Each structure stands twice: as C-alpha cells, then as structure tokens.
Copies of this chain bind each other. A is one copy, B any other.
C-alpha cells in the first residue's frame, strides 16, 4: 500500500510540475514556445512522459486553463467582497477581470483563445469553469435590472470584458483610454 501511495504521490507531483512549467514557459515566451520537447527538457524527463499524464498538448493547455479559472474566480470574489455596494462591486469586478487578463496573458489565452479541449456551457463543463462564471454572476446578477435574466446579463457583460481584454492585448485598442472604456461599460450596462 505505502509503496503504491508514494508512487501515486510522485506521479501527482510530477503532473503539477508539468502544468506549472508549461504555464511558466508560456508566460515567459508565449504558447508557441511551449513545445513538447522544450517542456520535457525543462522538467528533466523525456518527451513521452508527458503523454503518460496528458493525451496531448491540448490537455496540458486545458490543465493550465483550469488552474487559471480557479485563480480568477478567487481574485474576483476577493475584489468584490472588499467593495461596498453593487456599483463598487461591478467596478471592482471589471478592473480585476481585466487586470487578470493583462497580468496572466498566457493563462487567459489557455482559457479563452486556445483550444484546451474543454467543454463550455454544458452540463459536462469542468467545475472550475462553472465556478468562475458563478463568481461573475454573484456580483453581476444584482445589477441586471428589471426584466433581464441575470445569466444573460452576466454573459453579455462578460463578453464585453472579454472583448476589451483581447482587443487591448492584441494592440487593437490604444491603451490610453482603457479606464474610460471600463467606466463607460459599468455606467451604462449595470443598473444600480
């Protein structure tokens, strides 16, 4: 028993190492630089070891995405809990969301830009993803306004944030007016 347990522990530890290394490498040099060879070299194992943990590169991206979703949900809950009143909560949520995207671009890509093989908007959606959406819903649901479904409102607000995050990072939007755009979004969309 003890031997098997130890091996299982070591396996789990190595899996964490793979995910953490992939994330680190992606944040440092972008996802293009995360090749199976480089990743294997960094964890000091041979390439095929990766495939004994994950079905392929997609699944590794997916693992990074799930990790990121958990962190993002926590960050949003922390920020909104510290804010007073619905309006302040929405502002804090928007800022935190965009900050997370800006400071963890590789994780954000893994979540929403790359194919991590994850299911969305289904019952078989992984728990961290559902929970991240729930974190958004908690603060956004209360400012949906009359006659608007809280879920639909949250989806729309989220989409707007997602658009800002991706277009800004891709250099499609000049960064100068980022603050004004967030303000505009909160002022107009949220019913306080």
Contact = CB atoms under 8 A, between A and B. Distances in A.
- Interface size class on chain A is 20 to 34
Interface string A154-169: 0110111111101100
A4 interface: no
What's the number of copies of this chain in the assembled complex?
2
Contact of A155 (B121, B148, B161, B181): B181
Given A121-B171, A170-B112, A177 B162 contact: no
Interface in A97-132: 112-113, 119-121
Interface of A: 112-113, 119-121, 148-149, 152-153, 155-156, 158-164, 166-167, 170-174, 177, 180-181, 184-185, 188-189
